[in-house]
Amino acid sequence: MASPAAAHTVEQVLEAKRDGKALSASQIAWFVDAVVDERVSRAQAAAFLAFVMVRGMERDETVALTLAMRDSGQVMRWQVDGPIVDKHSTGGVGDKVSLVLAPLWAELGFRVPMISGRGLGHTGGTLDKLEAIPGFRTDLPIERLQSVLAEVGCFMNGQTAELAPADRLLYALRNETSTVPSIPLITASILSKKLAEGLDELSLDVKFGRGAFMQSRPAAQQLADSLVQVGQGAGVRTRALLSPMHAPLGMTIGNALEVEEAVACLKGQGPAELAELTCALIGRDEAEVQRARTLLDSGAAYERWCRMVRAHGGDPHAPLLGGGCSTHDVLADRQGEVEALDALDLGRAAFELGAGRRQAGEAVHPGVGLRLHVRVGDRVQAGQPLLTVYHADRGLQTALTLIGAAIRLR
């Protein structure tokens, strides 16, 4: 039986967007289906992306694109009570918030089915961090995820092939055609995957600064507004906060080092900025932020973390993988005040050591990375250690050059 959407043609859709006209929800749904079914060529899909990039999309069009991409695959349904929530960060350096947030939110009575990604380039990925825990599996099947969510209240797993396949196809084409930095395309890409998690509520951390996807605060605000409006338009209570990513978050960069810091935070002993950002993302108002903070400081969420790690096959008490790295201290060459710890260069330094990957599928080293000993604004003496480099078989000299450029004293 022919569907009404079958009345559209590729030419109509492309010509309308080329000429700056708004597309209907039905045209957009038809086009996304046609991309997934390969009824449009790669060239036609690339032209669509380029026209959207240049002409933009109205809010209703972006909602339609998001929903069509979400519905290109499986939309999860959870057999649990309690509000189903998650957060998404646009990515940064040293950003281990998810590791703290999921068990803490679960401890507060919410259900957190967190689907996470791997690092690519200078920003880290939650799955790579978790895999520094011996035995931790990030590829649990959906039936097991159902029971982990019911029993533990949270999980942290990788994306299945069935989740928003349209995004995988379109994202790869965007990479090839320089159409990544388009607010409607970024919005639909991020939200299609998050909405496929079957959420009631989504909290977004939109980062700005040298180490972030959006370099300026106004650009991050524009993305945050789009994400919130489209998320709400798609029927999920969505909120966003902007957070700076000029310097790394917390004191560590690198997979095992970040797990160690997140665990300290879950025991109530983490750096203040990590605890503050985590609680700010959880709380819908000041009272909820305070409640999250009190619980975090009490260390109660650590037990929940241990249960989640065990449910994923990991051993929460075993030494993390990648131990035995060599260390190298970077010392202050004079006294002064720390003016900058550039997130981008420090992220690149950790990447050069092997903490990140150049191409999807490459292995990362769990143990390498950087441990900072100072924050921006600290006074230091000549000869004082500024950071420790954990290195293995590669990248030390390049990393040291990047670190030299990243740290500025005044």
Catalytic residue annotation: 86-89, 126, 174, 189, 193-194
Q: From CA 389, how far away is CA 346, in angstroms rounded? A: 11
Q: Which stretch binds ligand URA (CB under 6 A): 184-192, 232-240, 254-262, 340-348?
A: 184-192
CA 238-240-244 angle, to 5 degrees, is 165
Question: CA-CA distances (angstroms) from residue 101 to 71, 95, 126, 280, 292?
Answer: 27, 11, 12, 10, 10
113 phi and psi, to 5 degrees? -90, 85
Position among 123, 189, 238, 243 found at the interface with ligand URA (CB under 6 A):
189
Put residue 91 in one of left, alpha, beta given phi > 0 → left and psi -120 to 50 → alpha.
left
CB 357 to ligand URA: min, Å: 16
CB 171 to ligand URA: min, Å: 6
Nearer to ligand URA, 107 or 167 (CB): 167
Question: CA-CA distances (angstroms) from residue 47 to 24, 114, 170?
Answer: 18, 33, 11
Residue type, 155: F
Q: Which residues contact 174 (CB under 8 A, 6 or more apart)?
A: 49, 180, 182, 185, 189
Nearer to ligand URA, 190 or 325 (CB): 190
The end-to-end CA distance of the chain, in Å, is 72
The yes or no reply on residue 190 touching ligand URA (CB under 6 A) is yes
Nearer to ligand URA, 194 or 293 (CB): 194
Enclosing H/E stretch for 303: helix 301-311
CB 15 to ligand URA: min, Å: 25
Question: What Rg, from alpha-carbon coordinates, does the chain have?
Answer: 22
Nearer to ligand URA, 120 or 340 (CB): 120
CB 255 to ligand URA: min, Å: 20
Residue type, 183: I
Nearer to ligand URA, 174 or 293 (CB): 174
Residues in contact with ligand URA, shown as a per-residue x/- string from 121 to 160 under the rule CB under 6 A: ----------------------------------------
Q: Which residues of 367-392 are buried (b: 16+ CB within 10 A; e: fewer)?
A: bbbbbbebeeeeebeeeeebbbbbbb
Instruction: State the sign of the Cα–Cα–Cα–Cα dihedral 248, 253, 257, 262.
Output: positive
How many residues line the site for ligand URA (CB under 6 A)? 3
Question: CA-CA distances (angstroms) from residue 174 to 68, 86, 105, 354?
Answer: 17, 26, 34, 26
CB atoms within 10 A of CB 350: 34
The yes or no reply on residue 186 touching ligand URA (CB under 6 A) is yes
Pairing of strands 201-208, 326-331: unpaired
Nearer to ligand URA, 94 or 125 (CB): 125
CB 173 to ligand URA: min, Å: 12
CB 97 to ligand URA: min, Å: 16
Residue with the closest Cβ to ligand URA?
Answer: 189
CB 190 to ligand URA: min, Å: 5
Nearer to ligand URA, 183 or 338 (CB): 183
Q: From CA 375, how far away is CA 391, in angstroms rounded? A: 22
Footprint on this chain of ligand URA (rule: CB under 6 A): 186, 189-190
